[in-house]
Amino acid sequence: MLTRNESSSCRNTANAVGGHWDVANEDDSVVGDSSGSSALGRRTIPVQAQHSGWNDVGFHGSTAIRTPNIDDLAYSGIMLNNYYVNPICTPSRSSLLTGKYPIHTGMEHSVILETEPWGLGLDEILLPEYLAPLGYTRHIVGKWHLGFFQKEYTPTYRGFQTHFGYWSGKHDYWSHFSEKYISNNFFMTGLDMRLNMEPAHNTTGRYTTDLLTEAATLIIQHHKVDESPLFLYLSHLAVHSANKEQPLQAPKEVVDQFSHIKDEKRRTYAAMVAKLDESVGRVVEALAQKNMLNNTILIFSTDNGGAAAGFNYNAGSNWPLRGVKNTRWEGGVKGVGFIWSPLLKVHGVRSDKMMHIVDWLPTLLSAAGVKRSDLPPDLDGISMWESFLEEPNSDHSPRSEMLISHDPLYGVSVYRYGYWKILNGTTYDGWWDGWYGPAEQGTSQDTSAVENEIRINNVWISKSKTNEVRDAAADGSPRIISQVEEALQGAGLWSYSYSDSIPFKIDCGQKVLPRMGTPCNPLHGRPCLFHIKEDPCEYHNLADFYPNIVDSLWKRMMTIAATAVPARNQPHDPEANPAKRCYLWSTWRSPEVAFS
C-alpha cells in the first residue's frame, strides 16, 4: 500500500507561504481597463468567519471572549443587527458569490461532503467574474466548499486568479488533513491545503488561522496599487470544528489566556476566536502599512449561526437567541456582520435594515460603480450601498422580505416579511430547537450551573440577565488598544470614542405572558409565527392570534419556493478516496463522467 511519504511524486509541494509567491500578477485574459472612475479603484475585502455565534463577539456583548479588533472595526463602521445568512456553510457561500438564493442554484440542501461529486453550477457567474472586466486583481484565501470533484469547479477556474487554502468544509488546524467518515469504523483521510492546484505539504504543523492570515497579508504587501484594484476574499476556517477526534484546536499559549473560562471546550473555542480576531487586526495593519485603507471596503460576516452546546463538537454561543447552526431559528440564521469603510458618511451606526447575505454581491458591485441594469435580472440580492451611504441611521431598507430557507428534503421553510417571520418544519427532530447559553453560564442542556430558571416547552431558559455586559474600560480591567485602533489612528481614520463603544444587547422582553402566544412545535406540521422586533428570541408563537398574516406569508413563501431548481446533491463516490492519490483530497472526475 502506498503511504503518505513513499513516493516522491506525492511531494510536488507548492511553496505556499514563507517563500516567494508572486500573487500580484497571475495570468488573466479578462482583466480590463481600471482607469477613469474612482469607484473602480476601491479595494474590497470580505472576511468570512465560520460558525461565529451571536454571543461570541464583544460588540454583541460577550463577557468571556474579547474581540478588540473585530469590535473596533464594527464600532467604527455599520453594525448589521438585522442581517441574515443561510443556516449552513455551502448554501451561504453560494449566496455570497452568486447573489442568488440557494434554491435558485440547487445549493440549498446540506453541504458538499468530500466524496460527493457535485458543486456550484458552472453556468453561475461569481462575484470575481463580475469584477474581472473592471480590472480587479482577485484572490481567495481559505475555505472554498463549493465543489472540487473536477478542476473546473475549483476557485482558480471560477474567476479567482489565486487560491491558498482548502477545498472541503474543514480540516485539522495543524496537519491540514480532512477526514470523511463513511461508517463508524471506516474513514477516508487526506491533505486538504493547496496553493492554486498544487498541494501545500510544507504548511504541515502550522496553525491554519496563522497561515491564512499570512497569505492575506502577503497578497496585500505584493499588490500593485497603481495598476489595479484588489478583491481579496478571506474565508477563515475559524471557528469551525476540525476532525472529530480533536475538534477544537488552538495554540496552548492562547488557550492559557482564557483561564477564567472553566469549561475546557469553551476555553479552547475562545482561543480560536482570539486568533481570528488577531487575523483581522493583522489584515488591517497590512492595509495601513500599504496606505490602502482610504479607499477600502471591509465586510465581516459569519456563514451561519454558532454551533453551540456541543453541536458539531463545538462550543459557540448564540445566547440569547434560539437554535444553533443548521436550524432556522434566529440562532441559526441571524448573522454576525458589519461593513467598514472610510467611504461611509456615518460611522458607529447600529443598523436595523433588513439584509441577507445574497445582498453583498450587488452591494459591492454598486460600490465599484456597476449599475443594477448591467447585472442579470435573476439576482435575488439587492444593493444596500446607496442606503448605507444616504440613510445609515434609518431602519428603512431596500429589502422588505427574504426567503431565509426552503429545503423540501428537510421539510423546512422559513420566510420573513418586515418583522414577521413564519417558520414551518424543523431539523434534527427538534433536538436543537432550544436556547443555548455560553458554557461558563450553563446551557439549556446543562442547567446545573444556572440559577433562577423556568421551564418552557421542555427547554430551560434563564430569567436573569446572564448576558449582562461589562464595559472593558470601566470594569477595572486593562484598556485594550487593538491593532485596528493603532492602524486607523495612524491613517487618520479613527472615528469613534472608546467610551461610546456600547455593545448591542438583544432584549428578549418578557418571556412568559398570559395569552401571549401558544407553544411552537414545528414537528406537528403547523407553521409558527413570530414578530422578531418584539420577540427576537422566539418565545411567543402568534400563529393562532393572526391567522390572516399566517395565510398571507405562507402564500408568498410558497410562491417564491415554487421557483426553486432541483437540488444538485450527489451521493458518495468511493473513487474520491484520497488514498488513491497520495493521500490528497483531489479532483477525481473528468467532465464527461461528472454526472453519469
| pLDDT at position 478 | 63
The answer to the question of residue 369 being in a domain is: yes
| Contact yes or no for 403/560 (Cβ under 8 A) | yes
Q: Are residues 542 and 582 in the same domain?
A: no
Dist CA 545 CA 586 (whole Å): 54
580-595 burial, b at 16+ Cβ within 10 Å, e below that, comes to ebbbbbbbbbeeeebe
pLDDT tens digits, 410-453: 999 999 999 999 999 999 999 999 998 764 443 333 323 322 22
Q: Are residues 270 and 207 in the same domain?
A: yes
Number of domains in the chain: 2
CATH of the domain at 207: 3.40.720.10
Ranking 153-167, 373-387, 420-434, 492-506 by mean pLDDT, the lowest is 492-506
Dist CA 532 CA 519 (whole Å): 16
Q: What percent of the chain has pLDDT over 70?
A: 83
CB-based burial label for 251 (10 Å; 0-12, 13-18, 19+):
middle
Residue of 89, 508, 528, 582 marked catalytic: 89
Q: What is the mean pLDDT of the chain?
A: 86
Q: Are residues 280 and 305 in the same domain?
A: yes
Cell for 140?
A: 481567495
Greatest alpha-carbon span in the chain: 73
Dist CA 241 CA 272 (whole Å): 10
Ranking 159-163, 189-193, 587-591 by mean pLDDT, the lowest is 587-591
The answer to the question of residue 365 being in a domain is: yes
The highest-confidence range among 83-97, 177-191, 388-402, by mean pLDDT, is 83-97
pLDDT tens digits, 215-260: 999 999 999 999 999 999 999 999 999 999 999 999 999 999 999 9
Q: Are residues 558 and 427 in the same domain?
A: yes
The answer to the question of residue 221 being in a domain is: yes
| Contact yes or no for 498/474 (Cβ under 8 A) | no
Dist CA 300 CA 234 (whole Å): 10
Q: Does the N-terminal peptide bond of residue 320 adopt cis geometry, omega within 30 degrees of 0?
A: yes
Q: Are residues 287 and 409 in the same domain?
A: no
pLDDT tens digits, 140-151: 999 999 999 999
Residue 89 falls in the annotated catalytic set: yes
Domain extent at residue 534: 401-432+509-564
Q: Are residues 187 and 253 in the same domain?
A: yes
| pLDDT at position 21 | 45
The answer to the question of residue 458 being in a domain is: no
The answer to the question of residue 466 being in a domain is: no
Q: Are residues 381 and 421 in the same domain?
A: no
Q: What is the CA radius of gyration of the chain?
A: 23
Residue 145 falls in the annotated catalytic set: yes
Report which residue type is found at 360: W
pLDDT tens digits, 461-498: 232 222 233 344 434 556 678 999 999 999 999 877 65
Dist CA 411 CA 431 (whole Å): 15
Residue 56 has pLDDT above 50, yes or no: yes
Q: Are residues 414 and 371 in the same domain?
A: no
pTM of the model: 0.89
Residue with cell string 428570541: 537
pLDDT tens digits, 487-541: 999 999 987 765 566 788 888 876 544 445 678 888 877 899 999 999 999 999 9
CATH of the domain at 528: 3.30.1120.10
324-355 burial, b at 16+ Cβ within 10 Å, e below that, comes to bbbbbbbbbbbbbbbbbbbbbeebbbbbbbbb
DSSP string, 285-344: HHHHHTT-GGGEEEEEEESS---BTTGGG--B--TTSB--TTSSSHHHHBPPEEEE-TTS
Nearest to 578 by CA among 204, 196, 191: 191
Q: Are residues 231 and 134 in the same domain?
A: yes
Residue 30 has pLDDT above 50, yes or no: no
Q: Are residues 132 and 172 in the same domain?
A: yes
Q: Are residues 329 and 409 in the same domain?
A: no
Cell for 330?
A: 434566529
The answer to the question of residue 37 being in a domain is: no
Q: Does the N-terminal peptide bond of residue 239 adopt cis geometry, omega within 30 degrees of 0?
A: yes
CA distances (Å), origin 63, targets 267, 373, 587: 13, 46, 44
Mean pLDDT across 331-346: 95
Dist CA 238 CA 272 (whole Å): 6
Cell for 567?
A: 437540488
Residue of 60, 145, 236, 240 marked catalytic: 145
Q: Are residues 226 and 322 in the same domain?
A: yes
User: Using the 8-state DSSP alphabet, how is residue 34 labeled?
Assistant: -
Dist CA 486 CA 520 (whole Å): 48
471 CA to centre of own chain: 27
DSSP string, 430-444: GTT-SB---GGG-BT
The answer to the question of residue 1 being in a domain is: no
Residue 52 has pLDDT above 80, yes or no: yes
Q: Terminus-to-terminus CA distance in the chain, angstroms?
A: 29
Provide the 3-class DSSP secondary structure of residue 92: helix
